[in-house]
Structure 1
Amino acid sequence: MKQRLFAFFLLAALFFALPLTAYADAGPKPSVRVVFSPAPQQRCYGTLLSSTASTGPSSAWDGSSEHARYEEGEEEIWQAFVDYQDPDGFYFLQEIWDCSEAGLLDWTYYPPGTFKILLYFPDSGQFWTSPVYERYAFDSYFTVDLTRAENGVFTAEKTYDFTWEILSMLARMALTLAVELLLALLFGYRSARQLRIVTLVNVCTQLGLNLLINLANWQAGLFAFLLAYFGLELVVFAVEAVLYASLLTPGRSGKKAVLYALAANVLSFWAGVQVSMWIPGIA
């Protein structure tokens, strides 16, 4: 009874704490990463202009002071981007990166699917822009050589980073496993056999989830990724619930194991959200 009450209050707290619907793990999120090589030789700020007026929590300014979004000391930079008129009607979604030193624009949380890269050089007041590009994978990487820009127009090359993707996936899996093992102990699953089962099931489901959703996005784009993500998240929970119910305590009621699977998946997603705020691109 104590374990059931603990699980109930844990799920209730997470339900009210999460700003979004809880998915089944410390799930990956789409990203667009643009590397400028060499880095700009002067002050430079960048953004992705979007073909739509919003994506995720980012949106175009509606003209009200309450909706203006900029960091302290960047109001003039923000205003310059707001005043920029794109000839194709693309939107500035109030997301700005300082590309001066690192030479990096790293949109790691719901970037636009169709976009232009826009750079602003405040010392000269110039804007440089790119042609229209689309996300081509779950995590899309581009490299820009600004020395080849002509009349304020530059191009970007697709440069997929397989090493970073593998490391990122392994980090997500490690985080999910750590959370689920800790919760298993709190649920009373403490024998070496039970912990091995949780580890094996978790590694298999998370590996399959990450590989399949990346494959779906690579082959068919963002819409396919979203359908695959939501569907596979439910499959992950169902598979883990069935396996835990039959393997963790054979011959006994599997209700506690199903509740554990639900609590573990919700908690690991919440942990992923928290980590993504500190280390963008991992979760």
Structure 2
Amino acid sequence: MSRNTISRYLHVQLLIIALFVIFLPLTASADLGPKPSLHIIAENMPDGVCYLDLLVNYTLKHGRPNISDETKYEPKMLEVLKKYNVDGWRPAMVTGTEIPMFGDIICDVKDGKCTMDFTYIGIPDEFKIIVVTADGRTVVSNVVKRKAFDSTVNFDFMTGKAAERSAISSYFLQFIFTCSGTLIIEGIVLLLFRFSLKRNCKPFVAINVFTQILLTLVIFTMMYREGIMAAFLVYWPFELIILIIEACLFAKFLQQHSKVRRVLFALTANIVSFAVGIALMMNPALW
């Protein structure tokens, strides 16, 4: 068997493995898109058990509560949240959302601080924060209008003020994380396709940075102008555009080997990096 035949065989095997990795999660979940997230940092919190929820201002026509096992919650505190409805503002986790959101309402307060995480498409673009304490006290924040796909909001229990951190800094950190991860994963695939990293370092890095900047700008623009759903819907077709752009650029600028192998590398690298991203999103404990 010739060296070229062996090389082609290995590439086909790698592509099959990559396809298997990406389509395997479909058996467990039919919705594998990018998931918006909301990270809340609460400060000056009282000692003891506290419940924190998001208030939304729309009438629920369809949907259900986002917490399932009510037995783990203190009944009186939970009832306070269930009954809260001021000027149409109601708790999203306890009373439900049109589209599901994941998270919990129990604050694990340590030294006056706690962090809360909410994920999935049901996260509202506009909300208030409500905290219920063990002694029956209720604190409600000002309205927060999200501008970042992955938001971080600071909340001060004593003043009731909540503010989203700069969307620009959020997207910059998101870009650094995703771009670095992409370079590492696709760099490994580049080596597996027997490309010299030394000879191809500049075009490889430049193309990946360019496409990651494009993706970040598109998501940022849609999130800022239209909200979560628009950013979510744009993500999928734009990922396909990114794949086509990278295939064309790698075919033109990578050195060594045929254009067919360069395109095959681009396809495989994108599939593998996408599969790893899906695995991370489906297993938050990994990060």
Same fold (TM over 0.5): yes
The alpha carbon displacement at 1:182 in A equals 0.6
The residue type equivalent to 2:250 in the other structure is: Y
The answer to whether the Cα contact below 8 Å between 1:181 and 1:195 also exists between their aligned partners in 2 is no
Unaligned runs of 5+ residues in structure 1 are 149-153
The answer to whether the Cα contact below 8 Å between 2:199 and 2:255 also exists between their aligned partners in 1 is no
Confirm whether residue 38 of structure 1 aligns to residue 54 of structure 2. Answer: no
User: What is the match of residue 245 of structure 1?
Assistant: 251
The alpha carbon displacement at 1:46 in A equals 1.4
User: What is the match of residue 120 of structure 1?
Assistant: 132
Tell me: CA distance 1:239–1:81, structure 2 relative to 1, closer, same or farther (3 Å): farther
The answer to whether the Cα contact below 8 Å between 2:49 and 2:109 also exists between their aligned partners in 1 is yes
The alpha carbon displacement at 1:49 in A equals 4.2
The root-mean-square deviation of aligned C-alpha atoms, in Å, is 3.5
Q: How does 1:180-219 map to 2 (within 5 A)?
A: 180-190=186-196, 192-219=198-225
The whole-number CA distance in structure 1 between the counterparts of 2:24 and 2:204 is 27
The whole-number CA distance in structure 1 between the counterparts of 2:144 and 2:75 is 23
User: What is the match of residue 11 of structure 1?
Assistant: 19
The alpha carbon displacement at 1:75 in A equals 0.7
User: What is the match of residue 98 of structure 1?
Assistant: 107
The whole-number CA distance in structure 1 between the counterparts of 2:59 and 2:286 is 27
Q: Deviations over 1:164-200 (max 9, x none)?
A: 5433321211111100011112222235223432222
- Report the number of matched residues: 258
Tell me: CA distance 1:235–1:11, structure 2 relative to 1, closer, same or farther (3 Å): same
Tell me: CA distance 1:232–1:106, structure 2 relative to 1, closer, same or farther (3 Å): same
The alpha carbon displacement at 1:236 in A equals 0.9
The residue type equivalent to 2:267 in the other structure is: L
State the structure with bigger RCO (CA 8 A, min sep 6), 1 or 2: 1
Tell me: CA distance 1:198–1:158, structure 2 relative to 1, closer, same or farther (3 Å): closer
Q: How does 1:1-283 map to 2 (within 5 A)?
A: 1-2=8-9, 3-18=11-26, 19=29, 29-50=35-56, 51=58, 60-61=64-65, 68-69=68-69, 75-77=72-74, 80-81=77-78, 84-87=82-85, 88=88, 89-92=90-93, 95-96=103-104, 97-101=106-110, 102-110=113-121, 111-121=123-133, 123-130=134-141, 132-148=143-159, 154-160=160-166, 162-163=168-169, 165-190=171-196, 192-248=198-254, 252-254=258-260, 256-276=261-281, 277-278=284-285
The whole-number CA distance in structure 2 between the counterparts of 1:160 and 1:13 is 35
The residue type equivalent to 1:84 in the other structure is: K
The answer to whether the Cα contact below 8 Å between 1:39 and 1:99 also exists between their aligned partners in 2 is no
The whole-number CA distance in structure 1 between the counterparts of 2:37 and 2:32 is 20
The whole-number CA distance in structure 1 between the counterparts of 2:59 and 2:250 is 43
Unaligned runs of 5+ residues in structure 2 are 1-7, 97-101
The answer to whether the Cα contact below 8 Å between 2:51 and 2:77 also exists between their aligned partners in 1 is no
The answer to whether the Cα contact below 8 Å between 1:119 and 1:128 also exists between their aligned partners in 2 is yes
Identical columns (%): 25
The alpha carbon displacement at 1:155 in A equals 4.4
The whole-number CA distance in structure 2 between the counterparts of 1:191 and 1:164 is 31
The alpha carbon displacement at 1:99 in A equals 4.7
The residue type equivalent to 1:15 in the other structure is: F
The answer to whether the Cα contact below 8 Å between 1:115 and 1:134 also exists between their aligned partners in 2 is yes
